Amino acid sequence: MREPWFWREDGVAAKAAAIAFAPASWLYDLGQRLRAAMSRPQSAGAPVICVGNATLGGVGKTPFALTLQKLLAERGVSAHFQSRGHGGSLTGPVMVHDRHTAIEVGDEALLLARAAPTWVAKNRLAGARAAADGADVVIMDDGFQNPTIRKDFSVLLVDAADPAGNNQVFPAGPLREPMARAVSRADAIALIGEGEPRIDAQGLPVYRASTAVAPTIPPQKVVAFCGIGRPARFFASLEANGFTLVERIAFPDHHPFTPAEFGALAAKARKAGAALIATEKDLVRLSPEQRDGVATVKLTMTIDDPDSLARLALAKIKGAS
């Protein structure tokens, strides 16, 4: 899905479009509240850390989850990941292995599995219980709005540059739920990227997280393509690292590239005498043969006060034990 144009616009036409979707937004939010009211959160069998957000689309949950897993590992805590396997065909619960493809388990699960045991399941509770086996803690990538699992530590990620778009709930806007309600269920907030958003933290600890990119090739002419939540950030990061973008081609988030689409991308690169470049998340959605011709950019995330975040997470999960 591509974001509708009016979600992050402030003009008269954008406001009119949002108003037209307001009844559907009300029903969507009502469904969320009814589900929460009718659900009784259950234990996964191990403490659960949830990394989530209040908006649809990417804000850096997977890189943050990977960073948090590393912080815990450095302190002797073994974490397993649990993902819904967005876009994957397997219902699970299933542990992700090298033999799996993005078509089966989703692209994010493949990235998580490089760092620690990862389980995917369409049923979040079943997936968390499977991931809990042999783990000190389960880190959920997304699932902040899922009311069926008892979470011991929840981190709400917020895009510092654009925290809520037009502040409307889907489909009138990008919010999964009102921001204030999401904050009320969080234990900490992480502002991702640059910016000073006007958000009421309700007394919660607030961390700043920034991303950096590590390309596998030196700066040169490139045809850049991606199917991620915020493609503009990827393109800007390449330019900031000295690359010349002959073309920038954005697909919807989690987009499964067809042979014809990849062939067209490769043809553009050949014609321009440029290299093809994409993100790691895009690379796992290509076939092994296609990957050989694509340079990649690894995304890393740093947190302004990692020791404080680790201490808070450990205090929460130890209190749950």
Give a three-class secondary structure readout of 119-178.
EECCCHHHHHHHHHCCCCEEEEECCCCCCCECCCEEEEEEECCCCCCCCCECCCCCECCC
Looking at residues 290-306, what average pLDDT do you find? 92
CB crowding 53-83: b at 16 or more within 10 Å, else e: bbbbbbbbbbbbbbbbbbbbeeeebebbbbb
Four-residue CA torsion sign, 274, 267, 102, 292:
negative
Q: Is the peptide bond before 252 cis (omega within 30 degrees of 0)?
A: no
pLDDT of residue 229: 80
Q: How confident is the model at residue 311 (pLDDT cuts 50, 70, 90)?
A: very high
Average pLDDT of the chain, as a whole number: 94
Examine the pLDDT at 321 and tell me if it is beyond 70: no
pLDDT of residue 230: 81
244-269, pLDDT tens digit by residue? 999 999 998 889 999 999 999 999 99
What are the residues whose beta carbons fall under 8 Å from the beta carbon of 135, sequence distance 6 or more? 46, 78, 79, 80, 117
Residues in a beta bridge with 118:
81
pLDDT of residue 213: 85
pLDDT of residue 284: 92
Looking at residues 172-178, what average pLDDT do you find? 97
pLDDT of residue 198: 87
Examine the pLDDT at 107 and tell me if it is beyond 80: yes
Looking at residues 138-163, what average pLDDT do you find? 96
